[in-house]
Structure 1
């Protein structure tokens, strides 16, 4: 057959059309939302000082070597050597049940240590901004680290808990000389940037009796300061750190840092006391807790999970594990809350890291993928009005979630550095007064994780769908565009560290406290009053509706009993999150004005029913140029001029 004088040729495995691979851009330069939140929550002096390092790290996380390590960690999953027994069925006594991890996993952990993804949070030179800077770095790293940030999250939480006990003179249970040396040694390892010295940590709470409910903990701790001589040393003579005077035995149903060098765990010391918190080294007899015999730990089996498959998650039996009591007996839940405050923001930032990378992949794909648009015409997806409207809507949601997440991080940073002050005009805390910081964090800690991790899942799915069928494939041969892996791993973030319902219930309890409710009330009113007189009529009407709706919610929270509100806790908490996000959008508009941020804010308010139907129709008729500005940024839309639109 002939067509316009040209002979038709069939395609083959090596000839015919091949879709060009999308090229991922450095997210620090390309992600409009990441740029905006850094300007909202960091003063110019801090931002200018950290930007070169973030730009460099943004390049490093996209290096082919990093993706090769990710593929290795995903293909060669962790396993127990011999299932913990030798060829004749005897337990492997020399090292216990030995966990084997892949080189890719270990190399990615080392990369995280070198780049200070945890240590940055303890950089005293950054003060109250250390957490924001740390999590900007983590945001870039999440999608390239093959889940090594999960043990990193617990490493961070453990470091913060030990730091509090090392630096708080008013504790009821002050540290003696030996325990102070033990805690300081662990803290130094947890915050090290040296991969040969750095530790991760486990966080062992979950037992067969319940997930987030630890009230029926069956792990028992007994004070036994005279253990057998061969179980005393933890390290060589250079460190000489004793294992601890408590003997801990029990069964932990879920451990997501099985290769860690230490753990923070819960155990019961007496029938009439609540659970207590303990620090326990993972191994004994070697320097830095690496290698050597396990400290009374038997790895029963590894879990087989939908996602996070590169992450070694195990069931652990503890038999005479030696450890140290943290704080008072029976006060373990209060101690572990410090760890949870940290691990929950890690979960939210991981969700945002996956979503940000997913959007980056979808944006890059839209620049190179052509589709038919009728009558023999073709156009790139970035020139297709429906596709760009879809990506623009995802971007609007993403930016709202980023604002809520980094607001929480900002408040966390100020809470950890009260000496820096949280005064009016303080950029790090958006002007939140000192006395409001703690109560506001009590609400945000649960609220932001519940809302962000749940809401992000369908948005990551939308990024996967933006690639069509190829998005559903586990593209390990082109790991940089493996958005299916990101979606699979994102699903767990709404489950661990407290499911959405558990966290909604916890947020409701926090909001029933007068000081917490007043802190949220202050912030909503503060943000709305700051925006007054600067908004268009439509957004001004929306701001008034926010004020009215928040007033009604506040009244319900003050007057109705918790048990009456509990069935609605998820809806109430989600609506409060949307009110906070709208308030943060208005703050962002005021500090970084621009046509696209106004459009993003208006679209968010329309979707949440905060402005009328007349405005809805106006938003829906906004054209391709505005959608492109939202997705790619007003200064990054030069692709529109590359040959012009083909529609």
Structure 2
């Protein structure tokens, strides 16, 4: 017997994280289910490369740097003599990760590539691989995406007729930057709604915008000298309580223009040209300064610590009105549809990576089974059942998330007669928007809330190692993923806010019946008597109940609808690509939620033991023999 020391004795074999494009069975099934085979074949080489690159040591080094060198205000917001000076500093890792995302077109792909209504699906399949390695840089990218979509609608639809030549030039310039892949040109965007009066409730907005055009006798000040882009005619002042992407190049914000009107939406650059700026050497400069913005302080958060989030005071910030006065909620909803999907995909990305880590750890970690017998966790019946159950929940949420993205893609680019349709239920054109109206709130409220305990379960699956920060082995750092994923059920609307919004969509006096009809169409398409019966009970409750009476039950009501939709999609998936594993997962999910299932998969699920659980977790035919070594 030899005693162990710090460098001798048992040292745990390192887990190896594999490329999730192939290693994540759920990801593969979703890609095959939602994309036509020719598009999937076309995107596979690029997606495979992304899946490999995001697991590189270089990327994890950038993540560690972004987490360690967190954003700060130089001089705590003042210069050496006490003058306010809002100079935000972000780390090298953060900038490198942003540049990588720009080059890969995590936003631009939806605007410079045309896969028809499947373009959004391709974009978010790539984002899913990147989420857990991006150190939150996809948060400003989400708002960049939403802003690009909003400006796209005003530039390239009938709304463009209402734009003046100068507005068209300003919006086109911003749109070109937002959709660029060149890191030296790409802009991110803020999305400023939250004030001290409330987060998602913007009815009490205290930011005020005044129409105050510059005198015609004087040159119009510029936002950018190199591009000759003028500042806007609106002067905006107020206090924004919670603004992420503080290092962005522009923002879309809400402000009030008149006491009797609702809030309005504005576009504003973050910086403006100031030719009188003097450098520290006394030389005249042609520099820029913040556009009437003072960064009061940065927020200290439980997670997303690499992301600069701040309180901002606006005094005479110059901007441009988007759309009509008082119609800001309608304008910002375009962005919310996008950012909510990004938030849900981030939750799925965190969970997908966490399960990947748990899978790899189970292959190399040995545990005792009594009488001196030791086996890998990947062969431990209880551990495999736990991971199989978590994988089943994960796959269900992947189906709901990507079905929402499917609807989003159809809303942006209609399916034409010469484009191949998949086996996913595709609603009639008139029901696409009503269905998306419901799903846009429902998917985020259900998925982001449900993800948190599952990511925690992956931490637990690693034992004490999972609880560590693991910055020395960043690829194993589930604790960082857990902290970051917790924000998903808070930002872009909390679970209760979004459940209330889903109820509001279903009870809307003008469009509510269409939204119910869209759900009716989707659920009846399954032809599963149990699901149809359950939906009929909920539908009658929605039809008969008043909105204020249903509100206390909104969360349970919305979650139940989500579980019905997931079950419908599980049945679609099992029929499209049958197999023992998917049929067992379908049966287990439906039985867990109290739905009756058809006999074949239900029987297989009850009969399956360790080998079935291993196939659910690792995929059919996976050789686990190369697992743990003494």
TM-score normalized with structure 2 length:
0.94
Residues 315-339 of structure 1, C-alpha deviations (whole Å, 9 max, x = no match): 0000110000000000000000000
Tell me if structure 2 keeps the 8 A contact 1:166–1:180.
Answer: yes
Residues 309-359 of structure 1, C-alpha deviations (whole Å, 9 max, x = no match): 000000000011000000000000000000000000000000000000000
Tell me which residue corresponds to 1:163: 152
Tell me which residue corresponds to 2:278: none
CA shift, 1:124, in A, is 4.1
Q: 2:617 aligns with which of 631, 638, 644?
A: 631
SS at match of 1:517: helix
CA shift, 1:120, in A, is 1.2
How far apart in 1 are the matches of 2:83 and 2:246?
22
How far apart in 2 are the matches of 1:596 and 1:312?
43
Task: Name the CA shift for 1:644/1:242 in 2 (closer, same or farther; >3 Å).
Answer: closer
Moved more, 28-37 or 605-614: 605-614
Q: 1:42 aligns with which of 35, 53, 66?
A: 35
How far apart in 2 are the matches of 1:352 and 1:379?
30
For 1:443-592, list aligned pairs within 5 A: 443-512=438-507, 513-526=512-525, 528-529=526-527, 543-592=528-577
SS at match of 1:137: helix
Tell me which residue corresponds to 1:293: 289
Task: Name the CA shift for 1:431/1:423 in 2 (closer, same or farther; >3 Å).
Answer: farther
Task: Name the CA shift for 1:293/1:306 in 2 (closer, same or farther; >3 Å).
Answer: same
SS at match of 2:116: helix
How far apart in 2 are the matches of 1:618 and 1:328?
58
Tell me which residue corresponds to 1:607: 592
Give aligned pairs, total: 614
Tell me which residue corresponds to 1:192: 180
Residues 514-540 of structure 1, C-alpha deviations (whole Å, 9 max, x = no match): 0000001001111x13xxxxxxxxxxx
The runs of at least 4 consecutive aligned structure 1 residues that moved more than 2 Å come to 227-231, 420-431, 611-622, 641-646
Tell me which residue corresponds to 1:113: 102
Tell me if structure 1 keeps the 8 A contact 2:211–2:235.
Answer: yes
Residues 343-390 of structure 1, C-alpha deviations (whole Å, 9 max, x = no match): 000000000000000000000001111011111010000000000000
Tell me which residue corresponds to 2:379: 383
For 1:182-331, list aligned pairs within 5 A: 182-226=170-214, 232-237=221-226, 239-285=227-273, 292-331=288-327
Tell me which residue corresponds to 1:146: 135
How far apart in 1 are the matches of 2:121 and 2:420?
17
How far apart in 2 are the matches of 1:321 and 1:36?
48
2:411 matches 1:415? yes
Q: 1:432 aligns with which of 427, 442, 453?
A: 427
How far apart in 2 are the matches of 1:515 and 1:65?
50
CA shift, 1:306, in A, is 0.3
How far apart in 2 are the matches of 1:408 and 1:142?
18
Note the residue ranges of structure 2 that are not aligned, 5 or more in a row.
276-285
How far apart in 1 are the matches of 2:167 and 2:476?
48
Residues 52-109 of structure 1, C-alpha deviations (whole Å, 9 max, x = no match): 10001100000100000000000111000011211221223xxxx0000000000000
Tell me which residue corresponds to 1:534: none
Q: 2:328 aligns with which of 332, 343, 362?
A: 332
How far apart in 2 are the matches of 1:198 and 1:429?
35
How far apart in 2 are the matches of 1:361 and 1:391?
11
How far apart in 2 are the matches of 1:579 and 1:251?
42
Note the residue ranges of structure 1 that are not aligned, 5 or more in a row.
1-7, 530-542
Tell me if structure 1 keeps the 8 A contact 2:369–2:375.
Answer: yes
2:429 matches 1:441? no
CA shift, 1:22, in A, is 0.5
Task: Name the CA shift for 1:422/1:98 in 2 (closer, same or farther; >3 Å).
Answer: farther
How far apart in 2 are the matches of 1:321 and 1:379?
64
How far apart in 2 are the matches of 1:483 and 1:291?
42
- Superposed CA RMSD: 2.2
2:343 matches 1:347? yes
Tell me which residue corresponds to 1:3: none
TM-score normalized with structure 1 length:
0.92
Tell me which residue corresponds to 1:54: 47
CA shift, 1:168, in A, is 1.4
How far apart in 2 are the matches of 1:619 and 1:63?
38
CA shift, 1:595, in A, is 1.2
SS at match of 2:162: coil
Tell me if structure 1 keeps the 8 A contact 2:112–2:179.
Answer: no
How far apart in 2 are the matches of 1:154 and 1:414?
21
Tell me if structure 1 keeps the 8 A contact 2:36–2:421.
Answer: no
How far apart in 2 are the matches of 1:53 and 1:107?
20
How far apart in 2 are the matches of 1:352 and 1:51?
20
CA shift, 1:292, in A, is 2.5
CA shift, 1:626, in A, is 0.2
Tell me if structure 2 keeps the 8 A contact 1:129–1:428.
Answer: no
CA shift, 1:127, in A, is 1.7
Q: 1:103 aligns with which of 69, 85, 92?
A: 92
Moved more, 188-197 or 225-234: 225-234
Tell me which residue corresponds to 1:535: none
For 1:634-645, list aligned pairs within 5 A: 634-635=620-621, 637-639=622-624, 641-642=625-626
Residues 281-300 of structure 1, C-alpha deviations (whole Å, 9 max, x = no match): 0011299xx97211111000
Tell me if structure 2 keeps the 8 A contact 1:440–1:519.
Answer: yes
CA shift, 1:563, in A, is 1.0
Tell me if structure 1 keeps the 8 A contact 2:585–2:605.
Answer: no
Tell me which residue corresponds to 2:279: none
